[in-house]
């Protein structure tokens, strides 16, 4: 049987259903985003670990120009190495049926006894026969994108030799969860293939019989990782080793970890805002309820109810509202987490998805949601418990009134009486007004933070593709070529301009800090691939010294004028100490740049070329594509026009999803704060407004008094929201900062204006809902209500 307080609790909840729903939806958003972020991160982490363990993903990777197969025994003898596997890896150009443009691929050898590390997972068909020279398995995504099945054939050009390859099966690999083609920014499933070929056949194709050029290692748990890497580097150095690296620097794994870091960042930024707004709304609504129910509270205490029971009554009201929000958040969070995890699993090419036991995620999200509502209710519950019965039974003392500075200024400005009443309402309760304005500003801030991504990504695209890399295509050569390769490329059909580039593998170091990368040497006066300063103006390549990207310079702790040590890798040996000539702007990857002739002079050799940047006549593109398919020295082709389109399409799809999400969150926050604030004002000033209507004030004038305060606070909230949104955008920008990519902080007037327009529209909608209640109010009944 329900007690009196329980029945009152249910009646209060029903009476406040609109306000309770607004609070519940805000809380539900916080719970859902928290669950989605945490659930997705956990599911992807567990899936990643399970996939790596089952397919024996390596801990350390290394490559060399050509190392003898006998060296593998020395590698296996290194202390801490559990398993070592040598492979032959090479790049090929693909001539695919029905595709005009040349595709590219990477061939990986399969040991005769089967791979021990980075084991491909067979999806369909079978693995190639050990004795077959023309059989391969390909990644499942490449096969699906081109409509290939086991038994289909295509042509590949490797070191000038044309091969006709037969697909025997499709696979997935832990090494290629996220596969980027050389020079690409987004996966190209149709134009870039990873394929596995029997070891004997691969060695024959690339001239590697009795040798290898790629090495993978799995370490014991007690291994000294850095000691193993140092030993590997010393063993491979005479054979053109370019530096071993840990799993964290493996391209696919690095992109996966960067994405997980972004998900963690989102989970850390948005839910606290929503939980904080929930606490504020609960505090605002319950505080007014306690004020209106003073006499009831005094009567209950006079009848013998304890202070703790009164306090618990109001805490339970907040708990019921929070429970509704938590349940809605659980349902939507579970659905979003499962759906988004599956989307991520498909995007990153996981063969399966492990959904870990998530009861603790539900529990954590629910407890935080309930705690935020309880924190918001504490002040109201405490004030209700602290009321003495005699004091509670009498009406509260009216606010003290005296004419002050505001009245003098208003009189001097000639403000109407309605405006004076609005301003007095704000000044009379400054703390409530401040928190209301802060709540509304958070709606603005979330939109500013989400819209900044659009402007920042536009800046990345403009800088990376139109100011820096302006070429139409880049030809990556299979081996270093003399400078005469430039003249050969000029004779290709449709080529209007050619600029060479030479990428030299090195290790840059300053004190204990070092970074392995390639110095890109370019000709003086080059106009296709340019370096930009931090203000995105072209920087001429210096006669002496090296240009470093801002991220790389910051990591090494150097500025222009400082010296950096350059240790050569691969087949070249030696060290150089070069001055840092300038710092450049680069949003994708990190880089070091020099003049082609200056680097050649330091090396004591004629200029060499590893890639060619082309400016193409689009009218002759088909003829050029046909010619590239038979170019013997070519390893792969990067069509920058296709890369730009793929990048923009992927970004546009992600932006649409994020825009809907952030717009929903902002609208819920804004409507929740504005609606509850206006409803509280209506309950406080109902008799006053009814009296004004009877005295002859029009509905518009009375509505101005009621909603004017909300309008003024909403306007005050706009610049505050811009500032908070800028801070959130800065925090998000910092979360994206890595060696792989980074985004600039771009905040435009259009961003601020659109965020304010959306939130002011939501405030207007909430205000109109409250005005509708005012217009329908029974004036006589309102006047009969006890104060």
Considering the chain, what is the average pLDDT of its residues?
82
- For residue 522, the cross-strand partners are 595
- CA–CA gap between residue 567 and residue 573 (Å, rounded): 8
Containing 290, the helix (H) or strand (E) segment is helix 251-292
- CA–CA gap between residue 75 and residue 241 (Å, rounded): 13
Residue 773 has pLDDT above 90, yes or no: no
Q: Quick: pLDDT tens for 258-276.
A: 878 777 777 777 788 888 8
Residue 112 has pLDDT above 60, yes or no: yes
- Which of 266-270, 353-357, 362-366, 701-705 shows the lowest per-residue confidence on average (mean pLDDT)? 701-705
Residue 19 has pLDDT above 70, yes or no: yes
> By the 8 A CB rule, do 101 and 192 touch?
no
Which pLDDT score is estimated for 382?
84
Q: Both tokens of residue 414? A: 């000639």
pLDDT band, very low/low/confident/very high, at 668 (cuts 50, 70, 90): confident
φ/ψ (deg, to 5) at 738: -150, 175
Average pLDDT over residues 158-173: 89
φ/ψ (deg, to 5) at 383: -65, -35
Which pLDDT score is estimated for 599?
92
| Residue 37 backbone class (left: φ over 0; alpha: ψ -120 to 50; beta: rest) | alpha
Average pLDDT over residues 91-117: 88
- Which of 118-122, 252-256, 386-390 shows the lowest per-residue confidence on average (mean pLDDT)? 386-390
Which one-letter DSSP state was computed for residue 468? I
Percent of the chain with pLDDT over 90: 24
Would you tell me how many other CB atoms lie within 10 Å of the CB of residue 679? 21
pLDDT band, very low/low/confident/very high, at 138 (cuts 50, 70, 90): very high
Q: Both tokens of residue 167? A: 């697909």
Would you tell me how many other CB atoms lie within 10 Å of the CB of residue 102? 24
> Which of 2, 5, 681 lies closest to 297, judged by CA?
5
> Which of 195, 177, 167 lies closest to 106, judged by CA?
195
- CA–CA gap between residue 94 and residue 629 (Å, rounded): 7
> Which of 38, 84, 36 lies closest to 59, judged by CA?
84
- CA–CA gap between residue 102 and residue 639 (Å, rounded): 10
Q: Quick: pLDDT tens for 400-436.
A: 556 555 556 555 656 566 666 667 667 777 777 787 7
Helix, strand, coil: what percent of the chain each, to 5? 55, 20, 25
Q: What is the DSSP string of 599-650?
A: HHHHHTS--EEEEEEEEE-GGGHHHHHHHHTT-TTEEEEEEHHHHHHHHHHH
> Which of 544, 535, 541 lies closest to 523, judged by CA?
541
Higher pLDDT, 195 or 462: 195
Percent of the chain with pLDDT over 70: 86
Q: Both tokens of residue 520? A: 């890109």
Burial annotation 492-509 (CB, 10 A radius, 16+ → b, else e) = bebbeebbbbbbbbbbbb
Domain boundaries defined on the chain: 1-58+254-397, 59-253, 406-470+641-787, 495-616
Residue 513 has pLDDT above 80, yes or no: yes
> By the 8 A CB rule, do 474 and 104 touch?
no
- Which of 462-476, 531-545, 656-670, 721-735 shows the lowest per-residue confidence on average (mean pLDDT)? 656-670
Higher pLDDT, 106 or 301: 106
Strand 103-110, strand 89-95: pairing: antiparallel
Average pLDDT over residues 31-41: 83
Higher pLDDT, 372 or 640: 372
Could you tell me the CA-to-CA distances from 316 to 8, 308, 392, 603 in Å, in that order?
Answer: 11, 12, 21, 78
The number of helices, as runs of H, and strands, as runs of E, in the chain is 23, 20
> By the 8 A CB rule, do 43 and 356 touch?
yes
Which pLDDT score is estimated for 654?
65
Average pLDDT over residues 177-182: 83
Which pLDDT score is estimated for 1?
47
Burial annotation 579-591 (CB, 10 A radius, 16+ → b, else e) = ebbbbbbbbbbbb
pLDDT band, very low/low/confident/very high, at 497 (cuts 50, 70, 90): very high
Q: Quick: pLDDT tens for 681-699.
A: 666 666 666 666 676 666 6
Residue 301 has pLDDT above 90, yes or no: no
> By the 8 A CB rule, do 125 and 183 touch?
no
Which pLDDT score is estimated for 213?
92
Residue 787 has pLDDT above 50, yes or no: no
pLDDT band, very low/low/confident/very high, at 174 (cuts 50, 70, 90): very high
Under 8 Å CB-to-CB from 168, ≥6 apart: which residues? 125, 126, 127, 128, 129, 135, 136, 137, 150, 151
φ/ψ (deg, to 5) at 25: -70, -40
Classify residue 152 as exposed, middle or buried by CB count within 10 Å of its CB (0-12, 13-18, 19+): middle
End-to-end CA distance of the chain: 33
Which pLDDT score is estimated for 408?
60
Average pLDDT over residues 627-645: 79
CA angle, corner 163, sides to 158 and 167, nearest 5? 110
Which pLDDT score is estimated for 263?
76
> By the 8 A CB rule, do 529 and 498 touch?
no
Please state the separation of Cα 714 from the chain's center in Å. 30
Which pLDDT score is estimated for 332?
86
Average pLDDT over residues 365-377: 88
pLDDT band, very low/low/confident/very high, at 442 (cuts 50, 70, 90): confident
Q: Quick: pLDDT tens for 560-616.
A: 999 999 988 877 888 899 999 989 888 888 889 999 999 999 998 999 999 999 999
Higher pLDDT, 687 or 120: 120
Under 8 Å CB-to-CB from 488, ≥6 apart: which residues? none
Which pLDDT score is estimated for 128?
93
On the CB side of 534, CA atoms within 13 Å amount to: 11
- Which of 397-411, 469-483, 540-554, 654-668 shows the lowest per-residue confidence on average (mean pLDDT)? 397-411
């Amino acid at each position: 049987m329900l007690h009196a307080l329980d029945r009152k609790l249910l009646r209060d909840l029903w009476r406040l259903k609109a306000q309770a729903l607004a609070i519940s939806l805000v809380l539900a958003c916080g719970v859902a985003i928290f669950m989605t972020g945490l659930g997705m991160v956990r599911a992807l982490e567990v899936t990643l670990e399970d996939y790596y363990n089952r397919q024996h993903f390596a801990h350390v990777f290394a490559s060399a120009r050509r190392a003898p197969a006998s060296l593998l025994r020395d590698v296996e003898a290194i202390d801490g190495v559990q398993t070592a596997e040598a492979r032959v890896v090479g790049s090929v150009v693909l001539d695919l049926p029905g595709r005009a443009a040349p595709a590219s691929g990477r061939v990986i050898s399969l040991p005769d006894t089967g791979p021990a590390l980075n084991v491909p997972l067979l999806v369909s068909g079978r693995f190639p026969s050990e004795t077959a020279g023309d059989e391969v398995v390909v990644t499942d995504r490449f096969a699906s994108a081109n409509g290939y099945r086991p038994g289909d054939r295509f042509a590949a050009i490797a070191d000038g030799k044309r091969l006709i390859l037969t697909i025997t099966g499709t696979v997935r690999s832990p090494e290629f969860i996220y596969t980027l083609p050389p020079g690409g920014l987004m996966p190209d499933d149709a134009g870039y293939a990873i394929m596995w070929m029997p070891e004997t056949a691969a060695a024959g194709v690339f001239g590697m019989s009795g040798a290898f050029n790629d090495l993978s290692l799995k370490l014991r748990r007690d291994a000294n990782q850095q000691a193993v890497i140092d030993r590997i580097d010393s063993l491979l150095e005479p054979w053109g080793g370019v530096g071993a690296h840990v799993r964290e620097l493996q391209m696919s794994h690095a992109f996966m970890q960067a994405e997980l870091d972004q998900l963690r960042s989102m989970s850390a930024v948005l839910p606290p805002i929503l939980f904080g707004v929930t606490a504020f709304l609960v505090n605002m609504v319950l505080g007014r309820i306690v004020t209106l129910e003073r006499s009831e509270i005094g009567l209950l205490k006079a009848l013998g109810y304890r202070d703790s029971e009164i306090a618990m009554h109001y805490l339970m009201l907040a708990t019921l509202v929070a429970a509704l929000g938590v349940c809605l958040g659980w349902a939507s969070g579970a659905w979003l987490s499962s759906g988004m995890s599956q989307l991520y699993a498909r995007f990153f090419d996981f063969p399966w998805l492990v959904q870990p036991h998530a009861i603790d995620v539900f529990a954590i999200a629910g407890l935080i949601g309930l705690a935020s509502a309880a924190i918001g209710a504490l002040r109201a519950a405490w004030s209700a418990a602290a009321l003495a019965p005699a004091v509670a039974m009498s009406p509260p003392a009216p606010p003290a009134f005296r004419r002050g500075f505001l009245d003098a200024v208003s009189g001097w400005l000639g403000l109407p009486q309605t405006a004076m009443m609005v301003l007095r309402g704000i000044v009379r309760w400054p703390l409530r007004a401040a928190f209301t304005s802060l709540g509304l500003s958070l709606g603005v801030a979330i939109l500013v933070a989400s819209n900044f991504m659009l402007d920042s990504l536009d800046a990345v695209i403009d800088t990376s593709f139109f100011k820096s890399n302006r070429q139409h295509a880049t030809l990556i050569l299979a081996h270093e070529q003399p400078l005469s390769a430039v003249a050969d490329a000029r004779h290709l059909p449709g080529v209007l301009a050619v600029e060479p580039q030479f990428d030299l593998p090195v290790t840059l170091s300053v004190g204990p800090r070092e970074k392995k990368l390639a110095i890109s040497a370019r000709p003086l006066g080059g106009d296709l691939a340019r370096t930009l300063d931090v203000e995105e103006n072209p920087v001429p390549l210096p006669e002496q010294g090296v240009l470093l990207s801002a991220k790389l310079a910051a990591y090494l702790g150097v500025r222009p004028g400082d010296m950096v040590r350059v240790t050569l890798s691969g087949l070249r040996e030696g060290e150089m100490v070069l001055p840092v000539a300038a710092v450049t702007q680069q949003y994708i990857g990190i880089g070091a740049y020099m003049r082609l002739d200056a680097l050649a002079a330091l090396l004591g050799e004629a200029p060499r070329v590893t890639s060619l940047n082309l400016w193409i006549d689009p009218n002759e593109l088909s003829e050029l594509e046909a010619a590239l398919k038979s170019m013997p020295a070519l390893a792969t082709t990067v069509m920058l026009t296709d890369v730009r389109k793929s990048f923009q399409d992927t970004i546009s799809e992600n932006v649409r999803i994020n825009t809907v999400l952030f717009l929903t969150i902002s609208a819920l926050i804004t409507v929740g704060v504005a609606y509850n604030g206006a409803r509280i004002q209506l309950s406080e000033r109902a008799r006053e407004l009814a009296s004004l209507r009877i005295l002859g004030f029009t509905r518009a004038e009375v509505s101005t008094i009621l909603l004017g305060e909300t309008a003024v606070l909403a306007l005050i909230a706009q610049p505050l929201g811009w500032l908070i949104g800028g801070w959130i955008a800065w925090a998000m920008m910092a979360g994206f900062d890595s060696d792989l990519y980074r985004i600039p902080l771009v905040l435009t007037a259009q961003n601020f204006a659109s965020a304010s327009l959306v939130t002011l529209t939501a405030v207007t909608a909430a205000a109109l809902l409250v005005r509708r209640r005012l217009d329908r109010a029974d004036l006589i009944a309102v006047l009969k209500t006890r104060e």
